Amino acid sequence: MTCLKVLRFPNPILRQGLPLTTVFDEALKTAADDLFESLYAAKGWGLAATQVGLTQRLFVLDMGPENSEPLCMVNPIITTKETPVLSDEDCLSFPGVHMTLERARDITVEYQDLTGAKQTYQATGVTACGIQHLIDLLNGVLIIDSLSKLKRDRLLKQYKKFIASGGHMHSHDHVHGPNCNHEHEHHHVHDHVHGPDCNHDHEHHHVHDHVHGPHCHHEHEEELEHA
């Protein structure tokens, strides 16, 4: 396996959407292995082929065992979307920044595995949001594209400052993921997706439509009492 360099914005390759993969051979399996190797080396949660300059239309995803098993999807297509939520997201191609985007909490994905066999996968919560993020990348769509000009300019200023500093994350920029060894006690509620079957008390908490991520700045003290 080879650890590939993750491309950063504004590399033009990130804007090149990938065509459907039609050849399912050893080269494709090698590409998947290299993507996983690169993902874990970067301590990320997901990586699309476009982010490392590969031309096969696939991504890999590992949100940690508490969310889903590691996934590899070739030619993924979302066939159903339900329940809009706000998702706190970061991106390996935009290090040092994060933002909140609207995603669907529940999705159905049709894709092919590495042998070419057709598969169907139902995802929810952070896994569903991650899949939507990665499919956007396969289409050449970046997380800044849905932002207003004001928010985009503010984020790009933050990004340029991060790059100018040498690309070293400060403690508040740390991306908590499945490979992180930091102590996260008292913060498990950030990963909870409040839904129609949830028994938590949501009075005065419109954030129940929010997928809490590692960079969420919402106040959670009262929610912890109900968790």
Q: What is the pLDDT of residues 63-108, one digit of tens each?
A: 998 888 999 999 999 999 999 999 999 999 999 888 899 999 999 9
Q: Per the structure block, which two tokens stand in for 61?
A: 């995803």
Domain boundaries, the chain: 12-165
Lowest mean pLDDT among 24-33, 112-121, 176-185: 176-185
Given a cut of 90, whether residue 206 has pLDDT beyond it is no
Angle, alpha carbons 146-152-153 (nearest 5°) = 165
Residue 215 has pLDDT above 90, yes or no: no
Peptide bond into 10 cis (omega under 30): yes
| Alpha helices for the chain (secondary structure H) | 26-41, 125-138, 149-164, 221-226
pTM: 0.74
For domain 12-165, which CATH number applies: 3.40.225.10, 3.90.45.10, 2.40.30.30, 3.40.718.10? 3.90.45.10
Whether the per-residue pLDDT at 26 is higher than 70: the answer is yes
Task: Give the residue-averaged pLDDT of 4-30.
Answer: 97
DSSP states along 141-194:
--TTTTS-HHHHHHHHHHHHHHHHTTSPPPGGG----TT--S--TT-GGGG---
> Of 170, 226, 195, 197, whose CA–CA distance to 85 is shortest?
195
Lowest-pLDDT choice from 29-38, 60-69, 153-162, 190-199: 190-199
On the question of pLDDT at 160 being above 80, the answer is: yes
What is the C-alpha separation between 109 and 97, in angstroms, rounded?
28
Question: Considering only CA atoms, which of 132, 171, 137, 127 is closest in space to residue 49?
Answer: 137
Weakest-pLDDT range from 23-37, 77-91, 133-147, 161-175: 161-175
Q: What average pLDDT does the chain have?
A: 80
The band of 176, judged by pLDDT with boundaries at 50, 70 and 90, is very low
Give yes or no for residue 36 having a pLDDT over 50.
yes
Indicate the pLDDT class of residue 58, thresholds 50, 70 and 90.
very high
